[in-house]
Amino acid sequence: MYKRGQEGVSSFGSLAAIVLILIVVVLIAMGFYVGWDKVFSIFDQTPSNVAMKVEACKLTKSSLLSSYCEIGQKPISTTRGKVYASCTYSEVYSQLGSEYQFECSKDYPNLEMKFCLDKKAAIEKSGGKFVAKDYDVNGQTCEVWINPVDQASVDFLWDYMCKLPTASRNAGKVNPTDCNSLNPSVSTTSYDPVDVLGVNGVKIANPTGKVCCAIKRATVAETKCVAAGGQVIEGENCDTSLLLESDFPASTGIVCCKKTA
């Protein structure tokens, strides 16, 4: 009987070991294919310091360059304080062996700027205030990243801001020539060239050969909408009883509605 008990314990231990190995294999596979930040988020934590980030970066290897270059959605603790970091962040990169050091700027340019702009849009959409200097991304604040000086980064910012909806117009479309080609022969919708403003409200110079085309919102119609207690938005969380179809044809994608939440 004692021998059978030992065999039972041994079988249970083997089964537990197999299950544990399977869990580890699944987590490693998830890290490779969806990114280690997402795996850590399952346990509501990301690498808390540089050493843990270094190990995570080693696991991604060269076959997963997108995960290697991805900037974590939660900051890590560094000598600079809290930093939103990718594997190219200097304190992390310097601790990786040469076999784990890869270049991101060529295949994934302007990741830091995009991270800052996306973070700003998300915070402001939820009603918060984005303070650029409070976000350190790969060793520089968002205040630096969103005010680029090199032409390639300025062009990237121009493209990004053109496609962003504003209070006065729908999201724009980047066109290599002019806006006429976007205007169908029979339609109430028309695209006009618009200035592209940076996050500081200053006009960004047009990249060579590009035009930002957007549907402008009619001032009179917008005034009517506000007078009716509504807002001109893109159709999210709307009380459609305030829809003014005559002033905002469906083809424009613009609606006048009251926010419900």
Q: With contact defined as beta carbons under 8 Å apart, do 255 and 231 qualify?
A: no
Which residue, 140, 138, 142, is CA-closest to 130? 142
Whether 21 shows a pLDDT value over 70: the answer reads yes
Q: Of the ranges 90-104, 172-186, 211-225, which one carries the lowest mean pLDDT score? A: 211-225
HSE, side-chain direction, 13 A CA sphere, residue 136: 12
SS3 per-residue string spanning 101-157: CCCCCCCCCCHHHHHHHHHHHHHHHCCCCCCHHHCEECCEEHHHHCCCCCHHHHHHH
> Tokens at residue 201, please?
């409200």
In this structure, which amino acid lies at residue 68? Y
Which residue, 145, 137, 138, is CA-closest to 198? 145
Q: What is the per-residue pLDDT across 45-96, written as a single tens digit (0 to 9) for each?
A: 444 588 999 988 888 765 577 788 999 988 999 988 999 999 999 999 999 8
Whether 4 shows a pLDDT value over 60: the answer reads no
Q: Where do the H-state alpha helices sit in 146-218?
A: 151-162
Q: What is the per-residue pLDDT across 199-212, written as a single tens digit (0 to 9) for each?
A: 888 888 888 778 89
Q: What is the model's pLDDT at position 261?
A: 54
CA distances from 109 to 4, 82, 106, 173, 260 (A): 63, 23, 6, 21, 38
Q: What is the per-residue pLDDT across 122-179, written as a single tens digit (0 to 9) for each?
A: 888 888 889 999 999 999 999 999 998 888 899 999 999 988 887 667 788 888 778 8
Q: What is the model's pLDDT at position 141?
A: 95
Which residue, 20, 85, 79, is CA-closest to 46? 85
Q: What is the model's pLDDT at position 119?
A: 92
Whether 103 shows a pLDDT value over 60: the answer reads yes
Q: What is the model's pLDDT at position 68?
A: 87
Q: What is the model's pLDDT at position 127?
A: 83
Cα–Cα dist 139/91, whole Å: 9
CA distances from 82 to 45, 85, 112, 140, 168 (A): 14, 9, 15, 11, 36
**Domain boundaries of the chain, sorted by first residue:** 22-142, 147-215, 219-259
- 81-83 and 136-137 as β-strands: parallel, antiparallel, unpaired? unpaired
Over the chain, what is the mean pLDDT?
Answer: 77
Q: What is the model's pLDDT at position 188?
A: 53
DSSP string covering 30-56, please?
Answer: HHHHH-HHHHHHHTT----BHHHHHHH
Q: With contact defined as beta carbons under 8 Å apart, do 86 and 47 qualify?
A: no
- Rounded average pLDDT over 111-121: 93
Q: With contact defined as beta carbons under 8 Å apart, do 100 and 65 qualify?
A: no
Cα–Cα dist 178/25, whole Å: 53
pTM of the complete model beyond 0.75: no
Question: Binning pLDDT at 50, 70 and 90, where does residue 185 land?
Answer: low
